[in-house]
Amino acid sequence: MLAEDKKTYRCEHSVALVKEATLRAVVGDWVALELSESHDKAIIKEILPRETQLVRKDPTEQALSQVLAANFDRVLIAQPLNDINIRRLERELVLAHETGVAVSVILTKADLAATEEEQAVVFEQVQSLVTNEEVLVISTEDAQSIEAVRSLVPAGEIAVMIGKSGVGKSSLINLLVGFEVQKTADVRSVDGKGRHTTVSREMIQIPEGGYIIDMPGVRGLGLWDADFGIETAFFDIEELARDCRFRDCKHESEPGCAVRAAVERADVAESRLKSYRALKKETASVQDRREEAQRLRTRTGHPRTRRFLDE
């Protein structure tokens, strides 16, 4: 933890915190720390309420969420321009928009695109999937493109970067910082989980800028509550759906479906409708499982409240 005195402390959660709730400090959290002379670790007494949080389904638990980062101002989604994965991008956009903050898409490795035309095609395609998000095209070969990212993370702000491993996140961060950040990882570590974690998610300060939170090792991006995120990421389908005859239209074979009509006209790609439906189904089934878990707990009178469930 980076404390107000600018020192970094190794921390552990207080026993009370561990007993009371499953709430754990994540990168970006503000916490109340207790320092002691005798103990080599500072104690996290309290985790302050989060203003924003990036949440996914816990990959190992059916009915629990997992917060990956807190209190940030922007989500940066990195995808390689030369090997873009639209389905994954749609999912990343849903998770990012669910947080409520500004979202930008960074298309990396532009130099690996075969031609400028290919670059333009991918850029246009991505542009058509987003509304207000900024889409940046970058390459480690092009210093100016990196500067454009810097201006997205001004001093006083925090950005979280998500993206599959290998898309170029570390390369970008190293260029923003001006040296290999890995070497300074210990100094800036704000990971409340301490040293035993294998993946370090840390806040990295950009000179003359804000902080960037790298999210290495985030494999699965299962949806948790995502209704708002889906609405925002699939703005085109949501807008069309207002003209469907039935309010609860599933856009399958109902008569008077405006979304299907748009697919027939080729205004919306069939694949996009398919992933919209799949993501809707995913978040609905998570909601079902959570409700089921809640019912079970009430019935058995489980004494321990799992706060995550109530968020």
Which residues lie near ligand GDP (CB under 6 A)?
108-109, 111-112, 139-140, 163, 165-171
Largest CA distance in the chain: 72
Q: Is 26 in the site for Zn ion (CB under 5 A)?
A: no
Q: In Å, what is the CA distance from 211 to each residue of 14, 42, 156, 176?
A: 27, 23, 8, 11
Shortest gap between Cβ of 56 and ligand GDP (angstroms)?
18
Q: Which does 259 bind (CB under 5 to 8 A by kind): Zn ion, ligand GDP, none?
A: Zn ion
Backbone angles phi and psi of 205, in degrees to 5: -85, 130
112 or 261, CB closer to ligand GDP? 112
Interacting span for Zn ion (CB under 5 A) from 40-48, 178-186, 212-220, 245-253? 245-253
71 or 108, CB closer to ligand GDP? 108
Q: What gap in Å lies between CA 169 and CA 106, rounded to an integer?
A: 10
Shortest gap between Cβ of 268 and Zn ion (angstroms)?
11
SS3 58: coil
Shortest gap between Cβ of 299 and ligand GDP (angstroms)?
45
- In this structure, how many other beta carbons lie within 10 angstroms of the beta carbon of residue 274? 12
Given a contact cutoff of 8 angstroms between Cβ atoms, the answer to whether 3 and 189 are in contact is: no
139 or 283, CB closer to ligand GDP? 139
Given a contact cutoff of 8 angstroms between Cβ atoms, the answer to whether 28 and 203 are in contact is: yes
Shortest gap between Cβ of 49 and ligand GDP (angstroms)?
31
Q: Which of 249, 261, 269, 293 binds Zn ion (CB under 5 A)?
A: 249
Q: Which of 13, 56, 74, 251 binds Zn ion (CB under 5 A)?
A: 251
207 or 256, CB closer to Zn ion? 256
Under the phi-then-psi rule, with left for phi > 0, alpha for psi from -120 to 50, and beta for the rest, what region is 109? Answer: left
